[in-house]
Amino acid sequence: MTQHSKSWTLKPGAMTLGDLRAVWAAPAKLILAAEAYPVIEASAAAVQAIVAKGDAAYGINTGFGLLAKTRIPDEKLEQLQRNLILSHSVGTGELLSDAVVRLIMLMKIGSLARGFSGVRPLIVDTLIALYNAGIMPAIPAKGSVGASGDLAPLSHMTLAMLGVGEVRINGELMAAPEALAQAGIAPVVLAAKEGLALINGTQVSNALALHGLFMAERLLEAAMVTGALSLDAAKGSDSPFDARVHAVRGQPGQILAAQMYRQLVAHSAIRASHLEGDERVQDPYSLRCQPQVMGACLDLIGNVGRTLLIEANAVTDNPLIFQDGPNGQAEIVSGGNFHAEPVAFAADTLALAIAEIGALAERRIALLIDATLSGLPPFLVRDPGVNSGFMIAHVTAAALASENKSLAHPASVDSLPTSANQEDHVSMATFAGRRLDDMAHNTAVIVGIELLAAAQGIDFHRPLKTSPHLEHVHHQLRQKVPFFDADRFFAPDIEAAKQMVLHGELSSTCKNLFAPLYA
């Protein structure tokens, strides 16, 4: 099973985006703060008291959805919860990645541990044991509409706790009973309300949106680097990055982006070479308006992060147990926190940023291959005609930018009623979050192609050098991809550049420069 070199303590309701990024990036041993256990135990005791009293309470001793009026005998409550999980495990499609599943499990543990869901400590501890053993439930990506919670995917998560279905360990599928036995984890028998508490909630939608957020952060950093590199390759001007220009507008992301661009291009010999005598008065928008566009993306990404962090710490199942009811008695309250509209809106707006990062980069590629605009050899290759150079690499970028336009259509404006119209408005947040991965990979390719094109342009200006920051990026690329001196099999070069974008390599040596993005 998985061995962890790091551990950290989860305090329910107090996770940070830094915590979530770390869990997304790599597994670490999870310890639940000791102060969480008394509130978990009190909530579970409240459920048992309701069962003992015999009053009807949704999800505890009734059916679900439109079957809420059906009363369930006490002797069938365990069967009710198990049947709930089996019947709701109807997901389809590819399995969610381990990074996403880790986020799902972490957020579900944090939510249950806040003590409003009525589960026993055993349930929380079993989830933690699975997480720490690296046992990732096999969760199909499709099958949730984002209300009433992510029922189908969370049911697949819960199956693993029951010792049913499959799990993944170190990327390999294994039968859940075998994996639990090897880890010394006993399958659980669900008590009243526990199945519902496990599968009600927005954790899958939010994990997918967080995955998109963390990808978008890397894309933003990389595209700012490649945009600065393209500026020098095209012998553009850094005057539009003047702090005074952005201060009089006042948009915070734009001001910050302009500051970053100034630092990225500072001390460039290429820029110094055309400070005087340049006939061009203004650069095209894809160069000149980078702070305005990327700054807007920066602000949007920041807003999305705030929404998703709130949701990551939230309690989103139904019904909820409150200890401050009448006469100091516990009270069960039905609500609708499982409706993932905030996540859907956040994911939809994040899609706009991912699409625009790619769209702007595609325009810069088009500029660089156009000799009349860039002053560089046509299609960035010597002996054009015999060589096609970057001609069709740009076509690939254009195809992916166009695809992202379709994928950026908001998912949240659609709603198909479910559960015989009991659940008559849903968020579609799960798809809203899931499509971000495709969009991010598309944009990573576009930015990767821009990296190749801009580096090619810099090479044509030798012996002049670009800025120290950008020279380092250029050197990193040339360790993996040589100068494009004549037509060759191009796809491996594009893949190598894409991976540099996805792994954050373009900003790896200037993290301090991008630190304000995460302030």
C-alpha 289/C-alpha 339 separation (Å) is 38
Phi, psi of 333 (to 5 degrees): -125, 125
In whole angstroms, give the CA distance from residue 1 to residue 184.
11
d(CA 320, CA 116): 5
Structure tokens at 439: 């969009």
Q: For residues 115 and 36, is the Cβ–Cβ distance under 8 A?
A: yes
Count, residues in the chain: 519
Predicted pLDDT at 176: 98
- Name the phi and psi angles at 71, rounded to 5: -85, 135
3-state secondary structure 201-214: CCHHHHHHHHHHHH
Cα separation, 284 vs 288, whole angstroms: 6
Render pLDDT for 21-55 as a digit per residue (tens, 0 to 9). Answer: 999 999 999 999 999 999 999 999 999 888 888 77
How far is 340 from 207, CA to CA, in rounded Å? Answer: 12
Distance between CA atoms of 205 and 46, rounded to whole angstroms? 29
Render pLDDT for 183-231 as a digit per residue (tens, 0 to 9): 999 999 999 899 999 999 999 999 999 999 999 999 999 999 999 999 9
The pLDDT of residue 112 is: 98
* HSE-up of residue 255 (Cα within 13 Å, Cβ side): 8
- Per-residue model confidence (pLDDT) at position 1: 43
Taking 50 as the pLDDT cut, the residues of the chain under it are 1-2
The amino acid sitting at 131 is Y
Please name the residue that has the structure tokens 């190749």: 452
Active-site position among 58, 261, 285, 518: 58
State whether residue 167 is helix, strand or coil: strand
Residue type, 334: S
Q: Which residue shows structure tokens 């949106």?
A: 209
Catalytic, 518? Answer no
What is the DSSP pairing of strand 331-333 with strand 320-322?
antiparallel
**Which segments within 306-388 are labelled E, that is strand?**
320-322, 331-333
Contact status, residue 31 vs residue 10, Cβ threshold 8 Å = yes
